Amino acid sequence: MNVEVTPLPGIGVRKDFPLQEDRRRIGVVDHRDGTMDLIFTKDSDPDTTVQIPLSGPEARALANLLGAPQLVAQLREEHRDIEGVNTRTLPIAHGAPYDGRTLGDTEMRTRTSVSIVAVMRAGQVHASPAPDFVFIAGDLLVAVGTGQGLEAAAVLLTDG
């Protein structure tokens, strides 16, 4: 996929790419002031670009939504020939028992035999988090284990 990067003097940088099935494009405008717009061209008029301003938290949430599934898909592909190994994302919800607590506090590996291999936060991947890594609401944990272990991990993160 070729991403086109276009400097916008006095504004910032436009980064976009064509969608496979039609003439539309999608991307972002990264403003010099740190703000960001999601952009796409209309299906009915590919010469007209729609811009949706995103706040910092909105841009980070969108990055998590787009990034976590790609990371999980990659891990699934890598583990597809290993019977019994599954990959799943597990969210840290607001007010969850481990919101503001460390990975070590969960005793995840001991209690569920599941490994947390990465944490998606604000569009950034934190690979191989250490036991002192502090979870915050909105984190998406990328977990690897058996189906049964992953179910137990989901319950652990929700109920404590």
State pLDDT tens for residues 38-53: 999 877 787 888 999 9
> pTM score, two decimals?
0.56
C-alpha angle with apex 44: 39 to 49, nearest 5 degrees?
20
- Mean residue pLDDT of the chain comes to 85
> DSSP 3-state helix, strand, coil percentages of the chain (rounded to 5)?
30, 35, 35
Q: What is the pLDDT of residues 13-31, one digit of tens each?
A: 898 888 877 678 888 898 8
| pLDDT surpassing 60 at residue 79 | no
User: What is the residue whose two structure tokens read 């915050």?
Assistant: 136
CA–CA separation, 128 vs 119, rounded Å? 8
Do 58 and 129 form a contact (C-beta atoms < 8 A)? no
Do 60 and 123 form a contact (C-beta atoms < 8 A)? yes
Given pLDDT bands bounded at 50, 70 and 90, which one contains residue 74? low
Phi, psi dihedral angles at 102 (to 5 degrees) = -90, 160
> Which position has the higher pLDDT, 156 or 30?
156
